[in-house]
């Protein structure tokens, strides 16, 4: 309950869409390549650090959502959707290092909308041996001045 109230207050008081746009580093949002680079940088870091939530919020549209797919206890496909703030929760310091980087990208674009399939690898040290690989799928939108992340999703199952 306490965390939910904090998220609602932070969203209502401090994180309005105009604030997000104003706070975005123009170099982070000028191209698909630059927003994808920033997308991976905000979540990576050594043990004891936290994700750069403020920078990540500046990449995302105010109504953006996150989806995490997987399997339930019976092996059935499930998806959980949430806001970016819900995804980060308390954003506690990492107990282990976490670096994620893009290994491949496929883009389909129509007008100001782009669908990006971004293959990634994750390691506990920067440039280290990957312990996991996967795909993030993102929907991006260009408003005439900058790119926005509208949503992103990954699936933890092998299907």
Residues 3-60 pLDDT 10s: 444 444 444 444 444 444 457 999 999 999 999 999 999 999 999 999 999 999 999 9
Residues 30 and 77: their CA atoms lie apart, in Å, by: 36
Long-range contacts at 84-92 (CB < 8 A, ≥ 24 apart): 84/53, 84/56, 84/57, 84/60, 85/7, 85/10, 85/11, 85/15, 85/53, 85/57, 86/7, 88/51, 88/53, 88/56, 89/3, 90/3, 91/50, 91/51, 91/53, 92/50
Residue range 106-153, pLDDT digits in tens: 999 999 999 999 999 999 999 999 999 999 999 999 999 999 999 999
- CATH code, 27: 3.10.450.50
Across the beta sheet with 147-155, what order do the strands follow? 77-82, 60-71, 147-155, 132-142, 113-123, 99-110
Q: Which domain holds residue 112?
A: 2-155
Residues 148 and 65: their CA atoms lie apart, in Å, by: 12
Closest to 78 in 3D by CA, of 66, 69, 67, 88: 69
- According to the model, what pLDDT value does residue 69 have? 93
* First-to-final CA distance of the chain: 34
Distance, C-alpha 78 to centroid of its chain: 19
Phi/psi of residue 110, nearest 5 degrees: -140, 115
State the total domains in the chain: 1
- According to the model, what pLDDT value does residue 23 have? 76
pTM: 0.83
């Amino acid at each position: 309950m306490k965390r939910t109230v904090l998220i609602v207050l932070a969203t209502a008081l401090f994180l309005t869409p105009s604030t997000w746009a104003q706070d975005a580093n123009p170099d982070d949002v000028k191209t698909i390549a630059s927003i994808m680079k920033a997308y991976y940088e905000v979540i990576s870091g050594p043990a004891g650090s936290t994700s750069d939530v403020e920078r990540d919020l500046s990449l995302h549209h105010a109504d953006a959502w996150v989806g995490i797919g997987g399997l339930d206890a019976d092996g059935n496909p499930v998806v959980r959707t949430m806001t970016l703030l819900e995804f980060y929760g308390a954003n506690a310091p990492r107990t282990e290092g976490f670096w994620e980087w893009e290994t491949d990208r496929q883009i389909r674009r129509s007008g100001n909308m782009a669908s990006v399939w971004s293959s990634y690898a994750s390691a506990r040290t920067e440039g280290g041996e990957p312990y996991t690989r996967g795909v993030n799928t993102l929907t991006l939108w260009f408003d005439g001045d900058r790119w926005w992340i509208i949503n992103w999703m990954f699936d933890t199952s092998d299907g």
